Amino acid sequence: QSALTQPASVSGSPGQSITISCTGTSSDVGGHKYVSWYQQHPGKAPKLMIYDVTNRPSGVSNRFSGSKSGNTASLTISGLQAEDEADYYCSSYRDFSTVVFGGGTKLTVL
Amino acid sequence: EVQLLESGGGLVQPGGSLRLSCAASGFTFTTYGMTWVRQAPGKGLEWVSTVIGDGTTYYADSVEGRFTISTDNSKNTLYLQMNSLRAEDTAVYYCAKGRDRIRISSGWDYWGQGTLITVSS
């Protein structure tokens, strides 16, 4: 089960916006609406930031938004803050009842 | 308050077995699917297994036939029985609560703190 493709790292200055991509295939990202995004700070458990491509769980800042076009999903963080510095992972349902994660993206706030 | 508390981690020899537990509280356990996700040291997240509300189970190819996910609804506890362990199974194992009863991947909204499994001789 090969992983979804994410950039290894992205960076931005406080107040700026960044976008993290997550590229799969028609068997996963492109073919289903079950794309999620997780934030993970060092030594901590992951935290759900986006589910079902575009939905934000209660309590997650509206600075975080999700979208999808074809086989690529995206997470956009606007108004970057220092506390956003973390690793971000996408996940997607894949055909035949499996789930696949992206390799993760390290976000650095400059 | 939703809480998930994993236990059962430790050092095990290659070919050995281990059972992880995840004690859940703060929600109606039978109403949600539950999942195990692992993370090898310094690596990314990997989905391991999910059990949905009707008891149907799903596994990653890498653990199919070696790991078994199960629940004890009377104890609000999720388990992962791991057999024929390999060095590549070394990871922190997280249990996570699904957002609903049936879908296996509509987001996991609560996670435990993780338990470390080290497979080494």
* Three-state secondary structure of A6-65: CCCEEEECCCCCEEEEEECCCCCHHHCCCEEEEEECCCCCCEEEEECCCECCCCCCCCEE
Question: What mean pLDDT do residues A94-109 have?
Answer: 96
| Mean model confidence pLDDT for chain A | 96
Q: What size, in residues, is chain A?
A: 110
Tens-place pLDDT, residues B83-95: 999 999 999 999 9
Say whether residue A46 is in contact with chain B using an 8 A CB cutoff.
Answer: yes
- For B30, phi then psi, to 5°, come to -75, -5
Q: What is the pLDDT of residue A1?
A: 53
Say whether residue B100 is in contact with chain A using an 8 A CB cutoff.
Answer: no
Interface test with B, best of A47, A93, A98 (most B CBs within 10 A): A98
Token pair of B111 as six digits: 């996670």
Q: What angle do CA B23, B29, B32 make, to 5 degrees?
A: 120
A101 neighbourhood in chain B, CB within 8 Å: 44-47
Cα A22 to chain centroid distance, Å, stands at 7
The strand ranges marked E within chain B are 3-7, 10-12, 18-25, 34-39, 45-51, 57-59, 67-72, 77-82, 91-98, 108-111, 115-119
Tens-place pLDDT, residues B41-62: 999 999 999 999 999 999 999 9
Interface test with A, best of B45, B62, B63 (most A CBs within 10 A): B45
Tens-place pLDDT, residues B11-51: 999 999 999 999 999 999 999 999 999 999 999 999 999 99
Half-sphere exposure of A93 (CA within 13 A, CB side): 18
| Mean model confidence pLDDT for chain B | 96
**How many beta carbons lie within 10 A of that of residue A16, not counting itself?**
13
Tens-place pLDDT, residues B109-118: 999 999 999 9
Q: What is the pLDDT of residue A2?
A: 65
Using CB atoms within 10 Å of the CB of residue A62, give its burial: 0 to 12 exposed, 13 to 18 middle, 19+ buried. Answer: exposed
Calculated CA dihedral for residues A92, B113, B93, B47, nearest 10 degrees? 0
